[in-house]
Structures are given as structure tokens and as C-alpha cells.
Amino acid sequence: MSTQTTTPASPAASECTPDGASVYLNKRRIIVKRFFRNKPATIGLIILSLVVLFAIFGNLPNKWSYDDLDPFAAGGEAPSAVHWFGTNVAGADVYALLVRGLQKSLMIGFLVGVITPILAALIGTTMAYFGGWVDKIILFVLETLIMMPVLILVAILMNGRGGGWFTLAVLLIVFGWMGTARLIRGLSMSLVQLDYVRAARYMGIHPARIIRRHLVPNIASLVVLNVTMGIWGAILSEVAYSFIGIGVKIPDTSLGLMIAQASTMLETQWWLFWAPVVTLFFITIPLALINDGLRDALDPASLSAGTAS
């Protein structure tokens, strides 16, 4: 997980004044400019966008659905004009399965990758702001969850719930926020002691407003970086869990399930294995490039993205 030192925002930048709004707008423009000056990151964003579009619209020109079975192609047929990526043992079209599996893997990745850092940010800043017994109770829950045998719990809960993709996503969120929350708590504890935060508390401003206006913006760059890494990590987690049989299950499919089913037939039916593996490559590499670009764009000290002008 990438980390970086955040610079506390000034009180003026935190208020809803025209000046404060323009400061935030200019900062966003600078970050966007620096990001798009990073050519590998831009290429990564383009590739990832194409992958997402393929997941949404990729099966439109195909006459086969992922749950259709071709009795004439049962046993595994190599790629042909009828079945572009071949068929599996049951006679299902691999191209249609690939699009469906990509959809599910991306849905898990984006759901977990976006919600987990936001949840961690809210919990971490809340712990730092209130301190005392609130901090102790949440810290106890956090450390208890960290020590739990996650793999065993996920296996039990997935089997009990039928192995749906949404259940897996929820479990990845439930067991995935603790490390980031603890890191954000540590960063936010110094922010709570800043003069303008203390002044806001003495003025009686609601804690939720203080957390949203003064704490969260100062750890926003860390949250953004954790989103990209969280998507990457969630997709790989789905692949790992499905590969060992406790992730997405038939009749649905995912990239991990496709790789698991094809791993024993690599020499005889290679197309079953390489289609999801290559697709996974076109997800993970662009995400890594995007993460590097965001890290450079969000770090004022970085020279990799050039100057703001």
C-alpha cells in the first residue's frame, strides 16, 4: 500500500467561501495536469477504460450468452469463427464467459476498492477526533478483526451464503478496512491538535462537520491512492479465493473461477486458461501505472509529473 505525507490544509481552504472553493478548484486542476503529463499513467487509464467498456458492451456482437451450452462443441472446442475464444468442457462459449467473469471481477474490485478506503477514513478520523473511550472501543474491535483467521471465516460465510459475488465483496470490505484505518488514525491525531481544528471545536461546530471539513481533506491523497490499490487488491483477492474454491461459484463466473477451472487443462485446452490470465494482466498493469501517476501527481515534492504550469 502506498503512503505519503500529507500537508494540512489551511482553514481558508476548508471553508465554503468563494476563495476556498477556488483554492480547491485550482488544486484539482494542478493534480489533473500533473497526472496527464505522466504518459504511462495516461496509457494505463486509457487501457483500463477500454477494459471497463469491454466488460459492459463486449458481448453485444456475440450470439452466445455465458449460460448457453452448445451441444455440438461440448468437450472443449478450440477458437473458431463460431466460438471466438473456443468452448469449455460443458460447451459454454469462453468469450461470453470471459465478459461475464470480467464484469463480476470488476464489480467486486470497484465496490471493495472504493468503499473500503472511505470507510477506513471515516473510522480513522473519528477515532482520532474523539479519542478516549471511543478510540479505545474502536481500536479493540479493529485489533480483534486483524487477529481473526480471515481465510477460514470467509470460507465458512461464503459457503453458508451460496458464494455470490456480492457476499464476497461485503466480506472483503468487512475484513479489509482495519490497516488503513489504523494508519489514518495515526495521521489524524496530529491534525486534531492544529489550532484551527481546536478553534472549531471550541466554537461548538458539529464533530461531523469538523471531520468532513478539516480532517478528511488532509488525508484525501492517501484515500485516493488506497482506492486504486484497493481495486487491484480486491480483484486479486477474488481470483485467489475463487481459485481455492471459496469465491464466486457456478452457475455464475469470474476471472478467478475461470482460471481455477482451466488450471488442470493448460496443456490440452490452453485457451481456457490464457483468456482470463491475459485479461487479468490488462487490469493489474494499468492499475499499477495509474497508482504511480496519482502518487506523483498528489505529491508536490515529486518531479516525475513535472511542474504545475
| Domain annotation covers residue 81 | yes
| Domain annotation covers residue 181 | yes
Lowest-confidence segment of 1-15, 58-72, 280-294 by average pLDDT: 1-15
Per-residue pLDDT tens over the stretch 96-109: 999 999 999 999 99
Domain extent at residue 248: 37-298
| Domain annotation covers residue 171 | yes
Residue type, 167: T
Per-residue pLDDT tens over the stretch 146-180: 998 988 998 888 887 667 899 999 999 999 999 99
Q: What is the mean pLDDT of residues 224-234?
A: 93
Q: pLDDT at residue 122 above 80? A: yes
Q: pLDDT at residue 283 above 90? A: yes
The predicted structure's pLDDT at residue 213: 84
Q: Write down the pTM of the prediction.
A: 0.84
| Domain annotation covers residue 21 | no
| Domain annotation covers residue 13 | no
Question: How would DSSP label each residue in 230-275?
Answer: HHHHHHHHHHHHHHTTSSS-TTS--HHHHHHHHGGGTTT-HHHHHH
Q: pLDDT at residue 292 above 90? A: yes
* Integer Cα distance of 98 and 88 in angstroms: 11
Residue type, 68: D
Q: What is the mean pLDDT of residues 267-294?
A: 92
Domains held by the chain: number: 1
The predicted structure's pLDDT at residue 208: 87
| Domain annotation covers residue 25 | no
Q: pLDDT at residue 113 above 70? A: yes
| Domain annotation covers residue 138 | yes
The predicted structure's pLDDT at residue 288: 94
DSSP tag of 63 = S
Task: Provide the pLDDT confidence category of residue 3 given band limits of 50, 70 and 90.
Answer: very low
* Integer Cα distance of 274 and 285 in angstroms: 16
Q: What is the mean pLDDT of residues 247-256?
A: 89
Question: Grid cell 473500503 — which residue?
Answer: 116
| Domain annotation covers residue 44 | yes
The domain spanning residue 62 has which CATH number? 1.10.3720.10
The predicted structure's pLDDT at residue 48: 96
91: left (phi over 0), alpha (psi -120 to 50) or beta: left
Per-residue pLDDT tens over the stretch 60-83: 999 999 988 888 888 788 888 888
Angle between helices 94-130 and 270-298 (to 10 degrees): 30
